[in-house]
């Protein structure tokens, strides 16, 4: 993976170039060296400081999505090699079932409300995505991992919305499960 990304203008804000380059160098080394301690979840959880004239956030995020998919597929192949395809399917099914439990909660109660004064995600927007995920997990509704990764929600303040951090972590887990399916 090239670490030469499009940069924003010198007046625009992008990701810190040094941080992105260092992270991707570690990821490349881990991938090429088969380091199992570096996983797709570490990639989806990566965050970078911002700086003027830095790397385009959109371009870096898209590259990280592709990298995460590559790690997820490698993790799947390694799990199948270790325990067989049936064991991998059981594990993936268990992970999907755990995720589905939250989706089965009533709309408006699927995630923790944000603390007062904190920016949060609009409940109706998040619940609409959750309804699509229910259809994906239970009815085979067509949906891609990018549909989850690119989802956007209106902003609210405090308890009027769901806690952003909780929703983001949950959606990262959903994306990991979806990326594991060939």
103-127 residue pLDDT tens: 999 999 999 888 888 889 999 999 9
Q: Flag whether the pTM goes above 0.85.
A: no
Domain end call among 35, 64, 83: 83
Same domain, 161 and 98: yes
Degrees (nearest 5) of the Cα angle 25, 59, 22?
20
Domain end call among 24, 54, 83: 83
Name the one residue in this structure whose structure tokens are 């060296």. 33
- pLDDT digits over 129-180, tens only? 999 999 998 888 999 988 998 899 999 987 789 999 889 889 988 988 888 7
| Full domain range(s) for residue 141 | 85-182
Domain count, the chain: 2
Same domain, 43 and 108: no
Of 170, 158, 152, nearest to 119 by C-alpha is: 158
**Pairing of β 161-163 and β 155-157:** unpaired
Same domain, 161 and 112: yes
Same domain, 57 and 89: no
Same domain, 64 and 12: yes
């Amino acid at each position: 993976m090239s670490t030469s990304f499009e940069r924003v203008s010198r007046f625009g804000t992008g990701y810190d170039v040094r941080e992105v380059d260092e992270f991707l160098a570690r990821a490349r080394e881990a991938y090429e060296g088969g380091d199992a301690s570096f996983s797709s979840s570490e990639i989806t959880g990566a965050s970078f400081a911002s700086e003027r004239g830095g790397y385009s956030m959109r371009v870096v995020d898209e590259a990280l999505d592709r990298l995460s998919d590559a790690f997820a597929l490698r993790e799947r192949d390694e799990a199948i090699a270790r325990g067989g395809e049936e064991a991998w399917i059981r594990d993936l099914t268990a992970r999907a079932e755990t995720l589905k439990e939250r989706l089965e909660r009533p709309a408006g109660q699927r995630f923790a409300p944000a603390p007062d004064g904190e920016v949060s995600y609009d409940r109706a927007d998040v619940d609409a995505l959750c309804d699509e995920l229910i259809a994906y997990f239970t009815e085979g509704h067509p949906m891609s991992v990018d549909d989850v990764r690119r989802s956007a929600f209106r902003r609210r303040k405090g308890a009027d919305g769901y806690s952003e951090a909780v929703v983001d972590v949950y959606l990262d887990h959903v994306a990991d499960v979806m990326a594991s399916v060939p």
